[in-house]
């Protein structure tokens, strides 16, 4: 089960078991998030530091329950099946459904929020939805916001890989430190990526892009072999991602 850490102004919840893979959500109604002054930029950086770069999710809103409503809606969906952007928001409050509304912001202020890797509620064609579905940083050296679904999907693949490869060691009398033994590990890693990352309708990876590189025994330093450690296997694959913007041009003629 995927777990979240929810950091709100009134209470905190944290599951220590999955601490290293937790996401921290915070609703902040501060005008610092929509103002481009140097002082406010510094304040935003402090907020990012408090809530974590790669695993912090800041939402520009003054209702703390919006974060829990978002997690409640998204948290139980199969990995790879959902984009956190464009989610229409409603939550439970005092036994009944609660609607959420955007705070009043200009288009320029929306740009400022996105430039600061902050999320917000937007209204388009009458639909109120969550945007843009990013964390406070971590995508690259410039700390552009990573998409929440990307973080969760990679966590999912990493967890499944750890579990399934450990199961190989448990279920085998021995995995020999030979070319054949290494081939077992490589084959298992490829199976894991395809089985969990390439499910139709829940694609995390592009299946044809999966590549593995597991050097054989003769290429590995003797110190690693003596310690019975295999740590040089690698894989790479292209993320399926999602479409968040659509531009279509047309031409009519007579």
pLDDT profile of the chain (254 residues), mean per 10? 42 40 82 68 64 80 88 87 89 67 91 88 92 82 79 90 93 96 97 96 95 96 94 96 95 96
Global pTM reads 0.82
Q: How far apart are CA 61 and CA 101, in angstroms?
A: 9
**pLDDT at site 16:** 34
pLDDT at 185: 97
Residue partners of 228: CB distance under 8 A and separation at least 6: 177
Residues 6+ apart with CB under 8 A from 18: 2, 3
- pLDDT for the residue 93: 55
DSSP 88: B
């Amino acid at each position: 089960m995927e777990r979240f850490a929810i950091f709100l102004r009134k209470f905190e919840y944290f599951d220590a078991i999955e601490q290293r893979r937790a996401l921290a959500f915070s609703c902040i109604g501060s005008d610092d998030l929509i103002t481009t002054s140097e002082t406010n930029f510094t304040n935003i950086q402090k907020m990012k530091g408090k809530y974590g770069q790669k695993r912090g999710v800041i939402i520009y809103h003054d209702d703390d329950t919006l974060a829990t409503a978002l997690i409640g809606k998204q948290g139980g969906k199969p990995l790879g099946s959902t984009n956190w952007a464009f989610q229409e928001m409603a939550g439970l409050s005092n036994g009944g459904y609660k609607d959420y509304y955007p705070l009043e912001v200009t288009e320029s202020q929306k740009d400022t929020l996105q430039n600061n890797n902050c999320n917000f509620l937007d209204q388009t064609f009458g639909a109120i939805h969550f945007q843009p579905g990013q964390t406070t940083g971590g995508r690259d050296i410039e700390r552009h916001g990573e998409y929440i679904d990307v973080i969760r999907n990679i966590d999912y693949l990493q967890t499944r890989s750890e579990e399934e490869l450990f199961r190989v060691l448990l279920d085998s009398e021995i995995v020999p430190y030979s070319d054949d033994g290494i081939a077992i590990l490589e084959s298992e890693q490829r199976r894991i990526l395809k089985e969990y990352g390439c499910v139709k309708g829940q694609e995390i990876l592009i299946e044809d892009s999966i590549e593995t590189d597991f050097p054989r025994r003769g290429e590995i330093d003797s110190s690693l072999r003596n310690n019975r450690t295999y740590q040089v296997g690698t894989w790479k694959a292209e993320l399926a991602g999602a479409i968040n913007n659509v531009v279509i041009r047309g031409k009519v003629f007579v």
